[in-house]
Chain A
Amino acid sequence: MVQKGTDRVKRGMAEMQKGGVIMDVVNAEQAKIAEEAGATAVMALERVPSDIRKAGGVARMADPTIVEEVQNAVSIPVMAKARIGHIVEARVLEAMKVDYIDESEVLTPADDVFHIDKKAFTVPFVCGCRDLGEAARRIGEGAAMLRTKGEPGTGNIVEAVRHMRLVNSQVRKVVSMEKDEVMVFAKELGAPYEILLQIKESGRLPVVNFAAGGVATPADAALMMELGADGVFVGSGIFKSENPAKFARSIVEATTYYQDYERIVELSKGLGTPMKGIDMSNLEPAERMQDRGI
């Protein structure tokens, strides 16, 4: 008997990405630089988050030409973003056989209430989360991989740190609870009870959780690994830096050797100016991408 699109196959694909760096790219040339630097996957986009921020307006799924160009350029997995709740963008990406779909708050949500029923798809999905409630809701909808939301395109790690710490502390809390306390915690978090129970019994999230949103330096990537991330997404950081190839390679190495501080010293030298970055207090509420699709 042969089965495709099982939970094990979808979640397993993300397990194979662990300890790796997934890089945002907008064309074949960038995809090749990413692969050469040791990226474990690329995210094919029309614009990186910091440019989406600058451009304003409605951000949508990338032109299929860009996704195909990237698919033809590399042999590592290719991911692509669909708008939150945009079932058809997701179906289009599935028809193009992208390896993973990011139902992403970086794009303008198509549905301000509901996410996509991801269990209905053969292709696996990754979703953002800020706390265990969001994490469990997305898993309940069928997400096979999670990532922190952070605050995309800011080059500021503070939100990703907050989200990673909060999810992990809430996982520890549910694991240490008595079983009869879980239902009320589920109510407080707005989380599906069965998912919390699973987490309690296995002692961990049932899917991997990567860091995303604001990773701008090798030390940022290593910090997220230190805090328990399974791997790292880097968006605007790499191709907005002065020397993308060197920068990409340094982020990859810092992620693998995240506790080897002498090595991170060397990796951090001479990288040129990282992206300028935005302080959270300078963002208007409407500019906060992380508050979309919660």
Chain B
Amino acid sequence: MATRIGVLALQGAVSEHVHALENSGSQVSLVKNIGDLEGLDGLVLPGGESTMMRRMMDRYGLFEAVKQFAAEKPVFGTCAGLILMAKQIEGRKGPHLSLLDIDVKRNAFGRQVESFEADLAIKGISDHYTGVFIRAPYIKSAAANVDVLATYEGHIVACRQERFLCCAFHPELTSDPAMHRYFVQMVNESR
């Protein structure tokens, strides 16, 4: 059976992730309610607004359900998704899902006028990758067991810790399938 990956669809760049995952050979479905997680092999937390996604996850119990899902299955977070996965967030009392041993700074590069595209090398994934950074966070520090995959100007912008993958940029806004293929492969290996 083909790999089935869900995309958290409360808000944000959902359709772009769906498209990229389908092109990487996965079956894809949207996750808006707890029941939508059933039968999924992996989950993507898309770019968007992390504050909004957290509020919505809290209202109908999706937050606990996603945490339980992540206790066993691979999760890939981009931008806002990365913030949801971090164990520490600068200027915020507690973390959200608290999956990754990283300390992140929100809107770390500044407001929208500072948003940018830059060439990145992503370890084991791509030597030339266009990173699209939109009001992006970066990872201030990562624990020793976190595998740093990419840095930009000395800041960590992509990493992996066991079944968890995250990046500060938006692979869903480029036509380069490398990051999504990598995640689909992670999910396949975990099954």
Chain A positions within 8 Å of B, measured between CB atoms, are 1-6, 8-9, 12-13, 15-20, 35-41, 75-77, 94, 97-100, 122-124, 252-253, 256-257
Residue of B10, B48, B52, B55 contacting most chain A CB atoms (<10 Å): B52
CA distance A257 to B80 in the complex (A): 20
Q: How far is the CB of A56 from chain B (nearest CB, A)?
A: 33
| Residue pair A18, B14 in contact (C-beta under 8 Å) | yes
Bound-state CA distance A257–B60 (Å) is: 12
Q: Could you tell me the distance in whole angstroms from the C-beta of A258 to the nearest C-beta in chain B?
A: 10
A122 B13 Cβ-Cβ under 8 A: no
Of the listed stretches B68-76, B106-114, B138-146, B177-185, name the one at the interface; the rest are far from the partner chain.
B106-114
Candidates A12, A124, A256; contact of B173 at CB < 8 Å: A12
Cβ contact within 8 Å between A15 and B111: no
- For residue B47, CB closer than 8 A to chain A, the reply is yes
Contact of B59 with A9 in the complex, beta carbons under 8 Å? no
| Residues of chain A within 8 A of B114, CB atoms compared | 4
State in angstroms the CA–CA spacing of A123 and B56 once bound together.
29
18 further A-B contacts with Cβ under 8 Å, apart from A8-B173, A40-B49, A97-B112, are A1-B118, A1-B119, A9-B133, A9-B134, A12-B115, A12-B134, A16-B48, A19-B9, A19-B14, A20-B48, A37-B55, A40-B48, A77-B111, A77-B135, A97-B111, A99-B111, A256-B10, A256-B11
Footprint of A on B, CB under 8 Å? 9-16, 32, 47-49, 51-52, 55-56, 59, 79-80, 106-107, 110-119, 132-135, 170, 173-174
In contact, A8 and B117 (Cβ under 8 angstroms): yes
What residue of chain A has the Cβ atom nearest to residue B15's Cβ?
A: A18
Which of A6, A36, A97 contacts B117, CB < 8 Å?
A6
Closest to B9 in A: A19
B10, B107, B135: the one within 8 Å of A13 (CB): B135
Tell me which residues across on chain B come within 8 A of A17, comparing CB atoms: 48-49
Least distance between A68 CB and chain B CB atoms (Å): 12
Please, how many angstroms separate the alpha-carbon atoms of A57 and B118 in the complex? 46
- Chain B residue contacts of A12, Cβ below 8 A: 13, 115, 132, 134, 170, 173
Selected contact of A2 from candidates B32, B47, B116, CB within 8 Å: B116
A99 partner residues in chain B, CB cutoff 8 A: 111-113, 135
A19 and B117 contacting across the interface, CB-CB below 8 Å: no
Sample 18 A-B pairs with CB under 8 A, ordered by A number.
A4-B114, A6-B116, A6-B117, A8-B117, A8-B174, A9-B132, A12-B132, A13-B112, A16-B47, A16-B135, A36-B55, A37-B55, A39-B52, A40-B11, A40-B49, A77-B112, A97-B113, A99-B111
